[in-house]
Amino acid sequence: MRNNIQTASLAERIKETIGGGYVIAAFFSTYTFSRDFFEQEVVKLIADEGRRRGFFPLTIVMDRSQYRGNGWGYDIVRHPERMWHAKLIALFVENPELELKWTVLAIGSGNLTRAGWERNQELYLVHSWNGWILPEAIDSWMKEPWLSECKFGRWFHNNRIKIIAKNQRASIFTNLKKPIWNQLNSLTGYKKWNEAHVLAPFSDNFQDEEQFGGTKSFFRMLTERAHSASNLHIYLRGIDSEGKSVIGERRVFESLARKIRLHIHPVLPFEDRQLHAKLFAFRVGNSWSLIIGSPNATGAAMIFPNKNIELAWEFARIGKSQLGKIIPRCKEVQLSKLFFKKPAFMNKRRWEALESAIYLPKANRLRITWKVGFGPKNTKILLDDKIINPFRINIETTNSRFLETRPRIPTKEKYEPGFVPIQMPSGYLDLPTCQFKKLSPEEWLELLGKPFSLELPKNGPGAGENGGNGAARNIERHQFIWRDRVAKLSGSLKGLRETIRNAGTPQTINYVDRIVRGVWASHNPRKYQRFSTEHGWCKWVRSGLWQVLREECDGRSINHRGLCNLLNKWSRKIDGVLKEFPIA
Amino acid sequence: MNKTVQELLSEIFWTEAPTSDESRPTDPLGLDAMREELSDKLVPCLTSRTSRHEDFFWALTFLRWSASEATEKKREERFLHWERCLKIYWIKFRKNIKGFPGINQARSQASRPPSLKFQKLLKVQRAQGMLGAHLGPLRQLGLAKRNELVLENDGIRLVEGVGNPPDLKENWESWKRGFDSAGRAFDVNFKIELRKRLHQRMPELYNALSALRWRANMGWGQAAKHMGPRLEPYANLAHVFCPWADTIRSCFDEILHYNPDVDFPPWLRGKIPTDLKRWDPLRKIAEKWKKGNLENVLADLHKDVFFERGYSRSDLWISIEDGRLLRFPGRADYRPIAEGSDCRWSNAVALMRPFR
């Protein structure tokens, strides 16, 4: 199948496109999501081996019914009603040294799972543009209220992201408002096609559960727009090594064969890799057009309004030679000789008891919204596999950011557990302060001075020079570098001062509040021997922090109330002499 | 859109697995995890990847050289940088060097002109390289601090002779000079000191190994008698578990590769101490194993282990669907690995055996 066809690893292609830059914001769209794969592979790819996880906006939008849980450092949002089937990777990259910004956009057929990235046969287009831009189709998603409130949505609205309009020859479509079929440039007006290729794997019962609705309607619509004696090539997912068994419905193809010249090509599993790519190609007159992306050959994906949300990229007026490099070469098999396996879906009922769960950090509780008919009497809520009391919870000590709901009493009908993501309040920094990974005092200090523009790691420890900082190299190892530390602290405190002064929203103050608390807790002088250097240093840091808060916090501003409380609380813990001591 | 449609079309591709895929699970039945837990009881101060005194020496040296960095992150980066340079130096100037983690990348980087720009040798070098393998043991031995990437005074003393970090330049001569000079500090005294420390921290193990005259082949069964009542049940379990787990793992591979004649061993002899938590999946299948249909039992064990680790159905190597056993050999291109299959016996012998 793979003759003359370009192949690449999606992860490696994305890595190449990011190059020496740092991802500043990331947005993913998927149907199914594998938490384990995402945290192990994808986060490492885009967040410097996971070190910057939680420090930049990272949002995933996925289908409501497929959600099975997520972890800290990123948020997951779901469409309230419609099935979300679009697949997209959008990364906003910056290289501060070269003062360059670029956008990496990947549109294709693979979900955010190991199968989607590595195992299945998927089609993808990874492209990068100078500057931070997004296509009009994705901009229309960002206008949706449920999506604009997520971390990425807020970042998107706060930054100047250029929007690229649709183009006659290469356009990106979504069917949020209008079906994709009605937007295609290649079949506008009364244009009819003479030859078409449809690559549609549909589904089977254990590989994925994607919807199969309205295949017949789609092909009816397709044949209506065909010239008489047109050729339709359909590529189906083969499930045996001989190419005699395929996934699909025989009656659909039999009725098609009566109307049109039908050619069926089973795509064999290549090294155990199942076909999951989606592609449509039409010849109208002498020119070809190509559509790739998430839509399957179904009515729900292509023609019905208010059904699946899909994303597709259309290329109009292209040459046949280019198409040959993309469409797989597979032998045609007669319809009568094929064995069809009907796609079956697991429609297991789930105990979906919660509408939403919002974490309230100051009260250490969850604001739970129940669905009608559900409540604490018939449902138990689990976090990290333990039953919890939503009114008394500390999310920072857990690794998961989702709740699981199960029936309290065994029911006659069998229910699968339901899942709901825990929403973090806006401005809340989901830092890895859980028991699994704690920030060091130095890392807390680094955060202190630059809350919204983190210092990015260099391209490698020895980049450009040998042995790092020459001055530091000459210092005796294990010597306490007092001068360097004081200079760094002074810079951080200056940054903190400016942040508090310029803070326009309670969210910023909340952010500062968390960082300041973290710095204070990590610099506890009691951890060290009295009169040791580290003991003195911790006192120094705490005094600096207290002095900045005293000077900058305005007791009259309601925004500063939290910080003023901290100031009063800490006042007793600072030695009187240090309160007036000139820190910087 | 500045680029032409032709350029965009040339960027469309079919996906394939990453070429350097080192992150795939290699332990489909969780047996390695169980073996690690058991080894942590028997040989707590070593890991399955610590078998050479010299590696300990360099790990200590790099921790010392990176101590001047202010933050934990920078110290770690510095360590990884030195590890990369050392491994390239080994390839370039040591003819008799044996395999080590990252050898392929080190070979490829050594074939190019010397560069000080950091390029990873392993996919997750922090965990898979020298730091991941040696940091735990160094902390257990009291040579490195518990919560920081900094040496304790004893650790500093052990590598006092290495001097300042070498001044590497973009020519091989400076690399050779730098590492040769630091390497001279690795001598018999270092080995004696390290052995002494291992003896102090694991006295029962030392007694058992010395009673068995430091035999190279695994002998946990005989060693059990000399290890005292606390460690005896673990040593007895290791004696039966190690060969049993290797056989089960190869049976699993036979099933995966459609071999119809698989000879399954009988169920594991001996008791599993209750404090071994990672052994729960194995405890769960004990009854099913005795009833038969072992292919399905292994499929169940594999599913339980993978689901517990957060993998999904599409990651399974074998699974039972509609009563049929489905195999996906493409998802598992790794053969069983021998690393640590003797519960660190050979590593303990190599590192603790008295110097003659």
> A85, A211 in Cβ contact below 8 A?
yes
Residue to mutate among B257, B314, B315, with most A CBs inside 10 A, is B314
Does pLDDT of B86 surpass 90? yes
> A79, A70 in Cβ contact below 8 A?
no
B169 to chain A, any CB pair closer than 8 A? The answer is yes
Q: What is the reported pTM?
A: 0.64
Distance CA B110, CA B105 (A): 8
Token duo for residue B322? 């509609």
Q: What average pLDDT score do residues B188-211 get?
A: 92
**Burial class (CB within 10 angstroms; exposed 0-12, middle 13-18, buried 19+) of B352:** buried
Distance CA B180, CA B90 (A): 10
Q: Do B314 and A440 touch (CB under 8 A)?
A: no
A110 neighbourhood in chain B, CB within 8 Å? 15
Interface size A-B, in CB pairs within 8 Å, comes to: 187
Low-confidence ranges of chain A (pLDDT < 70): 1-4, 49-51, 168, 201-213, 271-272, 343-348, 427, 431-439, 449-481, 503-508, 555-559, 581-584
- Which DSSP letter does residue B217 get? S
> B138, B60 in Cβ contact below 8 A?
yes
B312 to chain A, any CB pair closer than 8 A? The answer is yes
The pLDDT mean for chain B works out to: 86
Shortest CB distance from A8 goes to which of B5, B16, B151?
B16
Rg from Cα positions in chain B? 24
Shortest CB distance from B81 goes to which of A273, A460, A481?
A460
Shortest CB distance from A272 goes to which of B8, B64, B328?
B328
Shortest CB distance from A466 goes to which of B13, B116, B124?
B116
Token duo for residue A467? 């042995």
Q: What is the pLDDT of residues B259-294, one digit of tens each?
A: 777 888 888 888 899 888 889 888 888 888 888 788
Distance CA A359, CA B182 (A): 54
Smallest CA–CA distance, residue A453 to chain B, in Å, is 18
- Which DSSP letter does residue A184 get? -
- Which DSSP letter does residue A121 get? B
A51 neighbourhood in chain B, CB within 8 Å? 73
Does B139 or A394 have the greater pLDDT score?
Answer: B139
B68 to chain A, any CB pair closer than 8 A? The answer is yes
> A570, A579 in Cβ contact below 8 A?
no
pLDDT score for A458? 36
For residue A18, what are the β-bridge partners?
none
> A384, A247 in Cβ contact below 8 A?
no
Q: Residue B345 — very low, low, confident or very high, per pLDDT cuts 50/70/90?
A: very high
How far does Cα A337 stand from its chain's mean position?
A: 43
Q: Residue B180 — very low, low, confident or very high, per pLDDT cuts 50/70/90?
A: very high
3-class DSSP state for residue B29?
Answer: coil
Distance CA B23, CA B124 (A): 9
Residues 171 through 210 of chain B touching chain A, CB cutoff 8 Å? none
Distance CA A494, CA A502 (A): 12
pLDDT score for A253? 86
Chain B nearest-CA residue for A290: B9
Q: Residue B66 — very low, low, confident or very high, per pLDDT cuts 50/70/90?
A: very high
Q: Do A467 and B71 touch (CB under 8 A)?
A: no
pLDDT score for A246? 84
Distance CA B64, CA B143 (A): 11
pLDDT score for A325? 78
For residue A61, what are the β-bridge partners?
A29, A77
pLDDT score for A504? 62
Shortest CB distance from A12 goes to which of B19, B65, B313?
B19
Q: Residue B334 — very low, low, confident or very high, per pLDDT cuts 50/70/90?
A: low
Contact partners, residue B152, CB within 8 Å, separation at least 6: B142, B143, B144, B145
> B125, B101 in Cβ contact below 8 A?
no
Q: Count Cβ atoms below 10 Å from residue A198 Cβ, excluding itself.
A: 20
Provide the sign of the torsion angle of the four alpha carbons A158, A160, A166, A172, taken in this order. negative
Chain A nearest-CA residue for B68: A477
Q: Do A461 and B74 touch (CB under 8 A)?
A: yes
Chain B nearest-CA residue for A71: B310
Shortest CB distance from B71 goes to which of A117, A277, A442?
A442
B16 to chain A, any CB pair closer than 8 A? The answer is yes
A273 neighbourhood in chain B, CB within 8 Å? 330
Distance CA A312, CA A138 (A): 11
A5 neighbourhood in chain B, CB within 8 Å? 14
B263 to chain A, any CB pair closer than 8 A? The answer is no
Smallest CA–CA distance, residue A506 to chain B, in Å, is 31
Q: Residue B324 — very low, low, confident or very high, per pLDDT cuts 50/70/90?
A: confident
The CA–CA distances, whole Å, from A360 to A283, A357, A390, A566 equal 56, 10, 10, 18
Percent of chain B with pLDDT over 70: 93
Token duo for residue B91? 């390839």
Q: What is the pLDDT of residues B212-269, one digit of tens each?
A: 999 888 899 999 999 999 999 999 999 999 989 988 988 888 888 777 778 888 888 8
Angle at the Cα of B89 from the Cα atoms of B88 and B90, rounded to 5 degrees: 90
- Which DSSP letter does residue A116 get? I
> B183, B172 in Cβ contact below 8 A?
no
Residue to mutate among A3, A9, A53, A268, with most B CBs inside 10 A, is A9
Q: Residue B310 — very low, low, confident or very high, per pLDDT cuts 50/70/90?
A: low
Half-sphere exposure at residue B105, Cβ-oriented, CA atoms within 13 angstroms: 20
Token duo for residue A207? 């590989």
Q: What is the pLDDT of residues A211-220, one digit of tens each?
A: 456 778 888 8
Distance CA A176, CA A305 (A): 8
Q: Do A114 and B309 touch (CB under 8 A)?
A: no
The CA–CA distances, whole Å, from A514 to A33, A447, A521 equal 30, 10, 11
Residue to mutate among A477, A519, A533, with most B CBs inside 10 A, is A477
Contact partners, residue B353, CB within 8 Å, separation at least 6: B195, B209, B214
Smallest CA–CA distance, residue A515 to chain B, in Å, is 17
